[in-house]
Structure 1
Amino acid sequence: MGLEPKNLESSIPVPSVQELASLKLETVPSRYTRDDMDSIIGTVPSDKTLRVPLIDMAKLVDSESQETELQKFHAACKEWGIFQLINHGVSDESLRNMNKQTQEFFDLPLKEKKRWAQKPGSLEGYGQAFVTSKEQKLEWNDMIFLKALPIEDRNLEIWPENPPKFRESLDRYSQDMRQIAVALTRFMAMGLEIESQELYNAYEEGQYQIRMNYYPPCPQPERVMGLTPHVDIPGFALLLDCGDTPGLQVLKDDHWIFVEPLDGAIVVNMGQITEILSNGLYKAPEHRAVVNKSMERRSIVTFCYPNLSFKVGPAKELIKLGSPPLYKTVTVEEYIGCFFNRKLEVPFIDAMKI
């Protein structure tokens, strides 16, 4: 018997991991420990020699260096599905402000943070994502998840008013992330040799959702997961590491590779909308977060979706070349609905295959 489809659009309240960590426990509560860590982590150690590609947006924009950098970009999307982006045009001030506001939010007393807690039936707000049963193993992180753009999607009831500059910083930051996403669609279209205007417009009017993560120090980091291995579903995710504690790992050739934090860089992680659009040419990689015994880690992730009416399916130019479409074509709205109401044992990308 297949399991019943689970609705992932809400989450059961669970204890704050930050509060647990403040108790200075010597062992982790059983709900967080993974006896299957070997199967999660894999027996292959992380490979220190492999580095995630580095892409320079300034070189992509400059006509003299564009061709060479575009080849690097295209290779990074095909072979890795993840890269670090530098010279992306977002001001240090915007990144610094969002980092500071995130830190100040998680530094608030628990009672104050809970003013913006998730409400029944919604993933938005402060809490944990995708907790659907009282038995399920929990991840070693707390988060606040907010819909940022378009502006009419914002639910200001759960947009923190404390710290005082939080809303203003998030507003600016979300628009900056949209600017990066829209620029990336141009280079994706050039790399794939597909029409760019429709894609560009779809992200210009797209949906941008922001998740701020807090991973406290953990007495037994080898027994927990900060974030379970998964693949992102949007077009792409843009991650800002707040500090220099590594935690993000990507699966490459059966090795878990650390994405080393790089000051001012944005990590671009391809999602399954892009994998489908490229008819499987660009990869949405499996990734996870691990935690640290002595160091906390914070990150800010922006999930970038085209607008709801955009058709997610293999680009027609890629089909004309004689390769058949590997995936169905659905609107973004149908695609998201399919993700949130599916049988969890079937990988989501498989549900989209023809």
Structure 2
Amino acid sequence: MGNYSVEVRKLGLCLLDLICEGLGLETGFFDGELSQVQLMAANYYPPCPEPKQVHGLQVLKDDQWLAVEPVPMMHLWSINGNLSSVDHRVVTDSKVSRTTVASFIHPSSTCHIEPAKALVKDSCPLHPAFIYKDFISTYIQDTLERVPPLDRYKLQP
């Protein structure tokens, strides 16, 4: 697991650099405090007698859950609305169990999070700067209540 997590982190940092390139940010924008923590989660889903879908991974689009072929996905909060993630879930199968392993790259808890200045240079930011640990403390509650977690941080027009 140790070797696997090292290689997954390298891949994650490479993907972050590709996201930087796509957004027009300098390579390495997410280095340092913005990518200091790596978390991995493994989940086991036993067979379920009454599954509703064959595909195990689904994404929420236009208020409907759509089955997708399993492909690597990354959950990344939006940078001033230029990049957003989708809600997703895993559903069970009646005959086959599933195991998923997810890797998350997080900022340090004391890191200041703010929209990239290069992305908001010609407009006002949608969100003020905040401390990552403050965001995480409300993230779970907001997610359970199906409230977009960044809504509480939006600047009023």
TM-score between both structures, scaled by the size of structure 1: 0.39
Q: Which of 326, 338, 344 is the matching residue for 2:138?
A: 338
Name the residue aligned to 2:18: 187
Identity of aligned residues (%): 32
1:253 Cα deviation after fit: 4.0
Name the residue aligned to 1:250: 59
* Cα pair 1:249 1:258 within 8 Å, conserved: yes
1:171 Cα deviation after fit: 1.5
Gap change, CA 1:197 and 1:343, over 3 Å in 2: closer
* Structure (1 or 2) with the larger CA radius of gyration: 1
Name the residue aligned to 1:218: 48
The number of aligned residues is 154
* Cα pair 2:17 2:29 within 8 Å, conserved: no
- Considering fraction of residues, name the structure with more helix: 1
CA deviations 1:231-289 (Å, max 9, x no partner) are: xxxxxxxxxxxxxx73011123444332313xxxx6122322xx1xx211111101111
1:329 Cα deviation after fit: 1.4
CA deviations 1:87-141 (Å, max 9, x no partner) are: xxxxxxxxxxxxxxxxxxxxxxxxxxxxxxxxxxxxxxxxxxxxxxxxxxxxxxx
CA deviations 1:45-66 (Å, max 9, x no partner) are: xxxxxxxxxxxxxxxxxxxxxx
Give unmatched runs, 5+ long, in structure 1: 1-169, 223-244
Taking the aligned partners of 1:187 and 1:343, their CA distance within structure 2 comes to: 27
Taking the aligned partners of 2:42 and 2:137, their CA distance within structure 1 comes to: 23
2:112 aligned with 1:311: yes
2:27 aligned with 1:196: yes
Gap change, CA 1:196 and 1:307, over 3 Å in 2: farther
1:219 Cα deviation after fit: 1.3
**Residues 64-103 of structure 1: pairs in structure 2 closer than 5 A:** none
Taking the aligned partners of 2:149 and 2:116, their CA distance within structure 1 comes to: 20
Gap change, CA 1:270 and 1:340, over 3 Å in 2: closer
2:101 aligned with 1:300: yes
Gap change, CA 1:342 and 1:303, over 3 Å in 2: same
TM-score between both structures, scaled by the size of structure 2: 0.82
1:314 Cα deviation after fit: 1.1
**Residues 77-156 of structure 1: pairs in structure 2 closer than 5 A:** none
Taking the aligned partners of 1:334 and 1:208, their CA distance within structure 2 comes to: 18
Name the residue aligned to 2:39: 209
1:201 Cα deviation after fit: 2.6
Taking the aligned partners of 1:285 and 1:294, their CA distance within structure 2 comes to: 28
